[in-house]
């Protein structure tokens, strides 16, 4: 019963984890004008948040071991709530940069903590639905922001509203802390009494240099890099692209961003069932086909409906790719190397999400945001080539 209660709390926590992720892209068309900065500065904020996420993810294991998953989750969500309220109270770009630090640090810790807890204490199916619930938060966030943008472009209240929701979650997590501790204690006792357990520590610890020597590793890492670069760049810049290139109202563009994340959310929910009949390789190819079709709509001289339609197709296409690539890891590298590869894959994914959105921000600032669809087209093509090279090598070895 306790693990069931915790599961509900974890699902709610993952919704809150997704809430802030799409706010900046939705509000930035209004924010940069109020702050009197150039449009490309969104990339700086996004890079700081992503860098904080990378750092806290690497350090999360030490924190979890010392303080426990429940306490790490509480502290992380509290940092996120503080940062979001700070965003809402800020009227200076410098303050946004400062509050972006705890926003990134908090997001990375809670993500790693909850994923690790579910992996240890629940069946594998729950891990798949967690990312669907993240998508619920990422979809609802722009809707809340859109509501406040209609109210005289009040993006500050949009951030404060999400910050208040996170603060309520902190209170709920505090009340659940004894359940976290007891659940872990009961689980450990059960494992100690399990005389049939024959688990061994066969996981290999490899340096980055050693990992890069593994066949197919460089190509797989490039695929993870390009996927997260595409997903995050689209989420951050699609709204600004619609506003600046087509004169779309900022509140309408914010809703379209929500449509993109809704596509990812519903796509992951459906792909959980579709995976029963389709392999990971097939799901990835279906996803890539949808992404290319969505980008094609952006490029073609079609009416304005092409933007929300294209975003929907790109979102639905992104849905199965990331979890399918992660699930392929043991098959590609073997069980003994999968854990070592998994950590580096996540690192390269974060690097892509950290540096590529601001890199496009520089392109948008110096050349023009009209290059947005061509930029994500290049990333999609790199991902396609990388994945197919790996698939061909696997087929050749079978």
Identify the domain boundary among 129, 157, 187.
187
Output phi, psi for 189, to 5 deg: -65, -40
| Same domain? 296 vs 209 | yes
Q: Which two tokens stand for residue 306?
A: 């092409």
Q: Which two tokens stand for residue 377?
A: 């087209």
Query: Which string of b and e fits 205-216 if b means at least 16 CB within 10 Å?
Result: ebeeeebeebeb
| Same domain? 212 vs 328 | yes
Dihedral sign for Cα 100, 104, 105, 110, please.
Answer: positive
In sequence order, the 6+-apart residues with CB closer than 8 A to the CB of 346 are 57, 224
Domain count, the chain: 2
Residue from 26, 50, 40 nearest 155 by CA: 26
Q: Which two tokens stand for residue 270?
A: 């459906």
Q: Which domain holds residue 388?
A: 205-398
Identify the domain boundary among 154, 187, 220.
187
| Same domain? 180 vs 322 | no
Residue from 248, 271, 236 nearest 50 by CA: 236
Task: Give the CATH number of the domain where residue 117 resides.
Answer: 1.20.1250.20
In this prediction the pTM is 0.69
Is residue 198, in this structure, part of any structural domain at all?
A: no
Contact (Cβ atoms closer than 8 angstroms) between residue 148 and residue 154: yes
| Same domain? 176 vs 272 | no
Query: Which string of b and e fits 115-151 if b means at least 16 CB within 10 Å?
Result: bebbeebbeeeeeebbbbbbbbbbbbbbbbbbbbbee
Is residue 262, in this structure, part of any structural domain at all?
A: yes
| Same domain? 241 vs 269 | yes
Show pLDDT as tens, one digit a residue, over the chain (398 residues). Answer: 666 788 888 888 888 888 888 788 889 889 998 999 998 888 889 888 888 877 876 676 667 677 777 888 899 899 999 999 999 999 999 999 999 999 988 877 677 667 656 655 665 456 667 777 877 887 788 889 989 998 888 999 999 999 999 999 899 888 888 887 776 666 555 545 554 443 334 445 566 788 788 888 899 999 999 999 999 899 889 999 999 989 889 888 888 888 898 888 888 888 878 877 888 888 899 999 999 999 999 999 999 999 999 999 999 999 889 878 877 777 788 767 765 676 677 778 888 988 898 899 999 988 999 999 999 999 999 999 999 998 887 766 65
368: left (phi over 0), alpha (psi -120 to 50) or beta: left
Alpha carbon distance 180, 71 (integer Å): 9
């Amino acid at each position: 019963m306790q693990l069931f209660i915790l599961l509900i709390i974890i699902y709610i926590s993952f919704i809150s984890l997704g809430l802030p992720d799409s706010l900046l892209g939705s509000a930035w068309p209004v924010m940069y004008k109020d702050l009197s900065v150039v449009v490309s500065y969104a990339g700086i904020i996004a890079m700081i948040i992503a860098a904080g996420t990378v750092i806290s993810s690497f350090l999360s294991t030490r924190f979890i071991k010392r303080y426990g998953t429940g306490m790490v989750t509480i502290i992380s969500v509290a940092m996120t709530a503080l940062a979001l309220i700070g965003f809402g109270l800020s009227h200076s770009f410098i303050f946004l940069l400062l509050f972006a630090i705890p926003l990134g640090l908090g997001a990375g810790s809670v993500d790693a903590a909850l994923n690790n807890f579910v992996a240890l204490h629940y069946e594998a199916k729950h891990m798949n639905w967690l990312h669907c619930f993240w998508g619920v938060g990422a979809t609802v966030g722009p809707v809340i922001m859109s509501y406040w943008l209609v109210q005289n472009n009040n993006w500050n209240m949009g951030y404060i509203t999400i910050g208040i929701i996170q603060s309520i979650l902190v209170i709920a997590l505090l009340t659940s802390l004894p359940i976290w501790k007891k659940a872990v204690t009961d689980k450990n006792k059960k494992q100690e009494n399990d005389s049939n357990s024959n688990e061994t520590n066969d996981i290999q610890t490899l340096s980055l240099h050693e990992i890069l020597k593994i066949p197919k590793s460089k190509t797989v890492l490039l695929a993870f890099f390009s996927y997260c670069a595409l997903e995050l760049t689209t989420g951050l810049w699609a709204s600004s692209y619609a506003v600046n290139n087509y004169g779309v109202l900022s509140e309408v563009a914010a809703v379209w961003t929500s449509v993109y994340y809704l596509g990812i959310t519903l796509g992951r929910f459906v792909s959980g069932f579709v995976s029963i009949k389709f392999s990971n390789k097939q799901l990835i190819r279906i996803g890539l086909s949808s992404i290319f079709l969505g980008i094609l709509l952006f490029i073609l001289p079609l009416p304005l409906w092409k933007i929300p339609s294209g975003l929907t197709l790109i979102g639905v296409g992104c849905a199965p790719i990331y979890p399918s690539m992660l699930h392929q890891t043991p098959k590609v590298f073997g069980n003994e190397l999968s854990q070592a590869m998994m950590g580096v894959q996540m690192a390269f994914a974060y690097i892509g999400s950290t540096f590529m959105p601001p890199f496009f921000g520089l392109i948008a600032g110096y050349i023009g945001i009209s290059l947005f669809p061509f930029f994500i087209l290049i990333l999609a093509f790199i991902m396609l080539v990388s994945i197919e090279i790996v698939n061909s090598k696997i087929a050749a070895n079978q």
